[in-house]
Chains A and B, each alone.
Chain A
Amino acid sequence: AQRVTQPEKLLSVFKGAPVELKCNYSYSGSPELFWYVQYSRQRLQLLLRHISRESIKGFTADLNKGETSFHLKKPFAQEEDSAMYYCALSQYSGAGSYQLTFGKGTKLSVIP
């Protein structure tokens, strides 16, 4: 069965420090992975997806199939990065549909 694990519930870093939010997954197929961000009481927003290999708001994430990881990184944290971050795995659920399985999330707190 597919599973997404985010081992840290809370991560506190100082402004300007590097950030790494960990995500590990287990999935029998070929995974598609995403990072979503949720600012306080706002909607879930797509931050980035592994197939795009893009950098959004300074964040990057590389899919490591050998380690089954998709860690989110940013070299210099900003106060506005404080939010909940969810790693998610896309799975084909048949009948022409798919769904996301979310990890439990990591709350990033950037200390001024």
Chain B
Amino acid sequence: EPEVTQTPSHQVTQMGQEVILRCVPISNHLYFYWYRQILGQKVEFLVSFYNNEISEKSEIFDDQFSVERPDGSNFTLKIRSTKLEDSAMYFCASSETKFPGGSGNTIYFGEGSWLTVV
């Protein structure tokens, strides 16, 4: 079964450094997402991406964050000038369908990238 893959699985970075988290969505999917889960808290939506632009972003997704699809397969999340509170599991996800409804309306998640900011 196709899967969303993410790298690295775990990254430790110093406060103030830039981090790039990488994702390879499922190949025939057109919609891409990043979610975040701070340890012990719920999963939170960060951003959705379609047709090479951001479709929607949450309040969390401020100017510190950016996303990019640099080529036909990768989808990246860049975090500039990391802060301690950015420590979290970051999940990439992808989906096939454009509209809600129907059996294809499902987001598939990657295994996540643990980011630890020290």
Contact = CB atoms under 8 A, between A and B. Distances in A.
Interface stretch (B13-21, B64-72, B104-112): B104-112
Contacts of A86: 42-43
Interface of B: 4, 31, 33, 41-45, 48, 50, 55-56, 91, 95, 98-103, 105-112
Contact of A94 (B42, B43, B56, B103): B56
B106 A102 contact: no
A79 to B, nearest CB: 23
Nearest to A51: B103
B45 A104 contact: no
Interface stretch (A16-24, A38-46, A57-65, A66-74): A38-46
B46 to A, nearest CB: 10
Interface of A: 32, 34, 36, 42-46, 49, 51-52, 86, 90-105
Contacts of A96: 50, 55, 98-99
Ranked 7 nearest A-B pairs via Cβ: A97-B55, A43-B111, A44-B109, A104-B42, A102-B43, A95-B55, A96-B98
A23 B102 CA distance: 22
Contacts of B98: 96-97
Contact of B56 (A32, A34, A95): A95
Contacts of A36: 109
Given A32-B101, A43-B109, A96-B99, 20 more contacts: A32-B105, A44-B43, A44-B109, A45-B109, A46-B108, A49-B105, A51-B101, A52-B103, A94-B55, A96-B50, A97-B31, A98-B48, A98-B100, A99-B33, A99-B45, A100-B107, A102-B42, A104-B42, A105-B42, A105-B43
